[in-house]
Amino acid sequence: MGLYTLIVTFLCTIVLPVLLFLAAVKLWEMLLIRRVDPNCGSPLPPGTMGLPFIGETLQLILQRRKFLRMKRQKYGCIYKTHLFGNPTVRVMGADNVRQILLGEHKLVSVQWPASVRAILGSDTLSNVHGTQHKNKKKAIMRAFSRDALEHYIPVIQEEVKSAIQDWLQRDTCVLVYPEMKRLMFRIAMRILLGFEPEQIKTDEQELVEAFEEMIKNLFSLPIDVPFSGLYRGLRARNFIHSKIEENIRKKIQDDDNENEQKHKDALQLLIENSRRSDEPFSLQAMKEAATELLFGGHETTASTATSLVMFLGLNSEVVQKVREEIQEKVEMGMYSPGKTLSMELLEQLKYAGCVIKETLRINPPVPGGFRVALKTFELNGYQIPKGWNVIYSICDTHDVAEVFPNKDEFQPERFMSKGLEDGSRFNYIPFGGGSRMCVGKEFAKVLLKIFLVELTQQCNWILSNGPPTMKTGPTVYPVDNLPTKFSSYVRNES
């Protein structure tokens, strides 16, 4: 009798719950798969849908690159999963990504997860469509014209020099990633939003911390309850909005007074564009636009600048080649060390540009982009059902690209070949592609090249911990924050 009771107890407390759980998971997958288009003869991609309602979101958030690597090894370049509340197909590889990026408005449309839309806002450039997207993009592109970039160079150079001098004066190691975020934040605040240095100094600490909190919770479960990720992200966002609103009101006042004195920043151009349109002016929309500009303008460049310090710290021969290229320009009379840089000089630094390209190849700051299927379509023999999310992967596409031999090695020279430039479209997509390509890519290139020039001309440096482990959340960063010891570089004048 005792044995019988023990068996029944075991079955009721262990086996039955496990069976019920497995049955619930199976029913969950069957329910989702019923949503496929019966008129399409192609099967769904391979993959698993994870737990009911939660899907595989927690695994992605907790494991990041390890989760994605495991999925790719198991299922290949197209697989199904369930992320951020939606059935999702993840796509990589040049041919597959080409169809997604060039299928905007025909096959797919941009749709970021609900948590991203809630925090950044549904009317931002990354979330709007059609004419609204075209008009906003056109306004922002004016802020990234060659003429505008030329005006930004002295401000960028001033901030970069100041930061590097601070690093050189420290006796202890510098945690590069947090320092880089502060540097790029100041640059973005000044150039993209038109903040004065005194304003930034007053609110910098609080704003940086709020941005940290907002970005950390950008990709979270769409549950707005106290202490949830979305709740914390929204609260941080609201603080940022309150600080930005003061600057927007000042810009509107200056605009009313017909101020024409200085070069206009991206936010000023967006305000002017909004006031010229038929729609009523929305202060909330401007705050959201400013927040998006700050996010796009500093988070991704901070990630890439950190990767630059890392890769150059591990490859001293590359640093030497960058210095030799700059020295050639000095000897040609195009540049004097310590003087203000020019667009003409930056454009002539081809090898430095290749160093940045190679950094973006190995460590693209943004791992991918989100779309939603507008209709059921076929992709490489698989069915992508209408309404399902589609994520195209930038990092995995770079990893599987056969045009990059020895892909694990840092070799900037590979981009010196014109043939590679012509043949790498959609194999190399650090800025995305199609009509949604990053509007600030030229700004990012100029900023990073200025940083690279100043860094190599002023510093030698050693990575205290050697090659770091990299994580994604939401941009790529070193787990140890890249502790580095900087020392002054003494140029050989001979």
Question: Would you list the DSSP string of 455-489?
Answer: HHHHEEEEETTSSPPEEESSSEEETT--EEEEEE-
Q: Is 58 within a domain?
A: yes
Residue 128 maps to which CATH number?
A: 1.10.630.10
Residue 425 pairs with which residues in a beta bridge? 428
Q: At 310, which helix (H) or strand (E)? A: helix 300-314
Residue among 166, 158, 146 at smallest CA distance from 339:
158
Q: What is the pLDDT of residue 275?
A: 75
Residues 465 and 386 in one domain: yes
Residues 3 and 65 in one domain: no
Residue among 188, 189, 211 at smallest CA distance from 200:
189
Six token digits for residue 234: 């929204």
Residues 25 and 149 in one domain: no
Residues 76 and 5 in one domain: no
Q: What is the pLDDT of residue 20?
A: 53
Residue 81 pairs with which residues in a beta bridge? 88
Residues 147 and 247 in one domain: yes
> Taking a C-beta distance cutoff of 8 angstroms, is the pair 350, 416 a contact?
yes
Distance in angstroms (rounded) separating the CA atoms of residues 404 and 151: 36
Q: Is 245 within a domain?
A: yes
Residues 333 and 351 in one domain: yes
Which contacts of 336-342 are long-range, i.e. CB under 8 A and separated by 24 or more positions? Answer: 337/457, 337/491, 340/153, 340/154, 340/157, 341/153, 341/157, 341/450, 341/453, 342/150, 342/153
Q: Is 152 within a domain?
A: yes
Residue 14 CB burial class (10 angstroms; 0-12, 13-18, ≥19): exposed
Domain count, the chain: 2
Is the omega angle on the peptide bond into residue 178 within 30 degrees of 0, that is, cis? no
Q: What is the pLDDT of residue 369?
A: 92
Residues 14 and 80 in one domain: no
Q: Is 438 part of any known ligand binding site?
A: yes
Other CB atoms within a 10 A radius of the CB of residue 117 amount to: 17
Sites in the chain below the pLDDT cut of 50: 28, 494
Q: Is 494 within a domain?
A: no
Q: What is the pLDDT of residue 290?
A: 87
Residue 141 CB burial class (10 angstroms; 0-12, 13-18, ≥19): middle
Residues 370 and 448 in one domain: yes
Q: What is the DSSP letter of 15?
A: I
Q: What is the pLDDT of residue 494?
A: 46
Distance in angstroms (rounded) separating the CA atoms of residues 149 and 192: 11
Residues 431 and 390 in one domain: yes
Q: Is 302 within a domain?
A: yes
The radius of gyration computed from the CA coordinates of the chain, to the nearest angstrom, equals 25
**Structural domain boundaries enclosing 28:** 1-34
Strands of 78-83's sheet, edge to edge? 78-83, 86-91, 389-393, 368-373, 108-110
Six token digits for residue 116: 């991203």
Q: What is the DSSP letter of 414?
A: G
Q: What is the pLDDT of residue 265?
A: 82
Q: Is 383 within a domain?
A: yes
Residues 236 and 175 in one domain: yes
Other CB atoms within a 10 A radius of the CB of residue 157 amount to: 17
Q: Is 74 within a domain?
A: yes
Residues 131 and 229 in one domain: yes
> Taking a C-beta distance cutoff of 8 angstroms, is the pair 419, 111 a contact?
no
Distance from the first to the final alpha carbon of the chain: 97
Condensed to tens digits (0 to 9), the pLDDT of residues 242-282 reads 988 888 888 887 766 665 556 678 888 778 877 777 667 78
Residues 24 and 171 in one domain: no
Q: What does pTM read for this prediction? A: 0.87
Q: Is 68 within a domain?
A: yes
